[in-house]
Structure 1
Amino acid sequence: MENNTITIHDIAKALAINSSTVSRALNNSDRVSLKTKKKILDKANELGYQRNLLASNLRRNKTNTIGVIVPRISRYFFSSAISGIEKTAFDKGYNVIICQSLEQLEREENLINTLAANRVDGIIISVSMETLNYDHFDGLKKNGTPIVIFDRHCDLPDRNNVLLDDFVGAFEATNHLIEQGCKNIVHFSGPKNLNVYRNRLKGYKAALEKHEIPFRENLVLNSRLMQEDGTKLAEKVLRLPESIDGIFSANDVAAIGAMQYLKKKGIQIPKDIAIVGFSNGPTSAVMDPPLSTIDQSGGEMGELSANLLFEHLNVESVKREPKTIIVKPSLLVRESSKKRG
């Protein structure tokens, strides 16, 4: 007999007892004696019976599974967030289905539909760079499936958010560069449609304003902030008419690409150009020189997102009140920005 075809009826037949008794024993019912339970469990193990948890959960209209969608699992921030989510879910007795959109709207839409078809109890998502509308969330709302959006803000009504204070992080990074003596600071920014990058740009501008340094539009360079983008942006930096002495990058990945290119061109970091990134990925600490950065607290944001989702799983959909949690970032000063020691 194939293991995956074993049913309670097979166990009942092998023991010559009623199927309902087998079912009660496997569900640890008090209506079955300990002696009979042991006999049934021993036979179930002998035959290789595996309980169909999916069918059991669906009967209860609950799967004890949540879905997580992130742009890229390979990004340290998102892998840290996933770790925090999974740890919290495991402690609550939940399984996690992890997906990545690869920054593509169509893929994100397909993943939402797939998770809904698999009857997940809730979804935690950081939306893709291409996500400009949210029609694909409509089905989840109609079904009463709770959603928590983390890291990247989006304009969904009645949404639950766990967001970083990107403005403060960018302000601290830029302010630090200015305090190190930088006056011509380039900002590597991301896609303008994402609030996360708009807020980091606002923080950059606010720090300049505080120190009465004029904002110059040509010193804001936009890209998707991949490592190859950092290389291309560094090329542009060296062609600018201003003598650039600082770079604030909206992520570590582009900052690292820029550092590698600038070093090949004989630029000394931080003596010639000081650099600060954003996210505190593991590579940032082992660069030469180590990269100053803003710590996004990925693990903490993941745990907060999961706990917020579980709060809403325990409340009827009509009584759920949307909630936003703001996480404070912190500046980690390393050698890449220490112009003044």
Structure 2
Amino acid sequence: MQPTTMKDIAEHFGVSIATVSRALNGSNRVNKEKCEAICDYARANNFYPNDIAKSLRNSRRMPVKVIGVIVPEFTHYYFSTILNGIEAAASKRDFRIIATTSRESYEREVQLCQMFEAHQVCGVIVSQAKETNHYEHFQSLIDRGIPLVFYDRICNGINASIVVVDDYQGAFSAVAHLAATGCKRIAYYGMHGNTVLGRNRYNGYRDALLKAGLQPDPSLTFVCDNREEAEKITPNILKRDDRPDAFFCVNDDTAIGVLYTAKHMGFKVPDDISVCGFTNGERAIACDPQLTTVEQRGSKVGEEAANILMDKVEGISPKEKIEKRVVRTRLIIRQSTRG
């Protein structure tokens, strides 16, 4: 799907492009009803005014430098901290950002990349959607000379710079802690989709079990990466005769779903069930008991991604140079796991 243009809007309403432009800029030369209709249509069809084109027309000396950013979800604590890191780094170097969300949709992600192409952003920072398994839209950005940096969820099929946390080591340290505190049957709640992030966290989980002398049990591995799903599937798992005595979850929200389900069923956390998450968001210290979790340092991830991109835009680093930066994680031990 191609990005909506002012020409498309003009044709839809049977007016001139100039009229559309006036309406979008709130001019009183367009009657109120028509202006509202045009603005509503533009929003519904994901039209974004080309700020870069305006800047080039208005200032030959100081054009606006705009980075397109795609996050899977705005409401997720980790992604919001990454966005904060990107914005903070960008503002220090006089870049602006356009922050968008794919809502975990492949089709919307494609549309956003096309929109960024059409509006000539100077680069794109993205964490791919869960649904994404085709990558032509990313390659198209690179082919057009638009630098691309992946963060968190990376794409092995595209030759681009990446910034990730050490997912393997984070998962390994979490599961090693659970095993060291006496847990023998450690369940794994992992991501939907076949992502590099998901594989790395599972491999860390598996290898920590093996190092502790525990055999991975496929019946304790589940696809579950949000609180709603955790509260739905955990009761039946805890009713098993061979129930787990610990859960390692791919994020904090999933872990909190397990924690509250276990408590509701009469289990004591951590005496009966230990629970560990992965994020260290604000909710980790708002639950009872407070959550043991792996700290991801999202602001640092965003800062690193932005600096890689801006270095390419400003010629400090060659556009074709591929960089990989790994942000270290840290296990934060609280009351949801045994001491």
Superposed pair shares fold, TM > 0.5: yes
Alpha-carbon contact 1:63-1:119 (below 8 Å) kept: no
Amino acid at match of 2:158: P
Q: Do the aligned partners of residues 72 and 331 (structure 1) sit closer, same or farther apart at CA in structure 2, a change above 3 Å counting?
A: same
Residue of structure 2 in register with 1:322 after alignment: 322
Aligned to 2:58, which of 48, 56, 59? 56
TM-score by length of 1: 0.80
Alpha-carbon contact 2:77-2:281 (below 8 Å) kept: yes
Q: Do the aligned partners of residues 286 and 317 (structure 1) sit closer, same or farther apart at CA in structure 2, a change above 3 Å counting?
A: closer
Residue of structure 1 in register with 2:86 after alignment: 85
How much has 1:237 moved relative to structure 2? 2.0
Deviation per residue, 1:235-261 (Å, 9 max, x gap): 232133313211000111111111111
The whole-number CA distance in structure 2 between the counterparts of 1:138 and 1:206 is 34
Deviation per residue, 1:163-186 (Å, 9 max, x gap): 111110000010000111100110
Amino acid at match of 2:58: S
Alpha-carbon contact 2:125-2:150 (below 8 Å) kept: yes
Residue of structure 2 in register with 1:134 after alignment: 135
Alpha-carbon contact 1:278-1:293 (below 8 Å) kept: yes
Gaps of 5+ in 2: 1-20, 23-53
Alignment partner of 1:179 is 2:180: yes
Alpha-carbon contact 1:104-1:129 (below 8 Å) kept: yes
Deviation per residue, 1:117-146 (Å, 9 max, x gap): 121100000100111121112321121000
The whole-number CA distance in structure 2 between the counterparts of 1:65 and 1:157 is 22
The whole-number CA distance in structure 1 between the counterparts of 2:160 and 2:234 is 38
Residue of structure 2 in register with 1:199 after alignment: 200
How much has 1:157 moved relative to structure 2? 3.4
Alpha-carbon contact 1:186-1:237 (below 8 Å) kept: no
Residue of structure 1 in register with 2:333 after alignment: 333
The list of structure 1 runs, each at least 4 consecutive aligned residues, that deviate by more than 3 angstroms after superposition, is 59-63, 316-319
Q: Do the aligned partners of residues 222 and 211 (structure 1) sit closer, same or farther apart at CA in structure 2, a change above 3 Å counting?
A: same
Amino acid at match of 2:116: L
Gaps of 5+ in 1: 6-51
How much has 1:100 moved relative to structure 2? 0.5
Alpha-carbon contact 1:221-1:233 (below 8 Å) kept: no
Alpha-carbon contact 1:233-1:258 (below 8 Å) kept: no
Alignment partner of 1:209 is 2:210: yes
Alpha-carbon contact 1:144-1:317 (below 8 Å) kept: no
Q: Secondary structure at the match of 1:257?
A: helix
Deviation per residue, 1:261-292 (Å, 9 max, x gap): 11111111001100000011100111100000
Amino acid at match of 1:139: S
Superposition map of 1:293-332 within 5 A: 293-315=293-315, 320-332=320-332
Amino acid at match of 2:132: T
How much has 1:69 moved relative to structure 2? 0.2
The whole-number CA distance in structure 1 between the counterparts of 2:78 and 2:114 is 25
The whole-number CA distance in structure 1 between the counterparts of 2:150 and 2:221 is 28
Q: Secondary structure at the match of 1:201?
A: helix
Amino acid at match of 1:305: A
More divergent stretch after superposition (204-213 vs 313-322):
313-322
How much has 1:116 moved relative to structure 2? 1.6
Deviation per residue, 1:41-100 (Å, 9 max, x gap): xxxxxxxxxxx535236x689641101101001111100000010011111111110001
RMSD of the TM alignment (CA)? 2.0
How much has 1:115 moved relative to structure 2? 1.6
Residue of structure 2 in register with 1:273 after alignment: 273
Percent identity between matched residues is: 35
The whole-number CA distance in structure 1 between the counterparts of 2:156 and 2:104 is 18
Residue of structure 2 in register with 1:10 after alignment: none
Alpha-carbon contact 1:126-1:150 (below 8 Å) kept: yes
The whole-number CA distance in structure 2 between the counterparts of 1:116 and 1:274 is 47
Alpha-carbon contact 2:130-2:193 (below 8 Å) kept: no
TM-score by length of 2: 0.81
How much has 1:314 moved relative to structure 2? 2.1
How much has 1:293 moved relative to structure 2? 0.3
Q: Secondary structure at the match of 2:103?
A: coil
Alpha-carbon contact 1:124-1:149 (below 8 Å) kept: yes
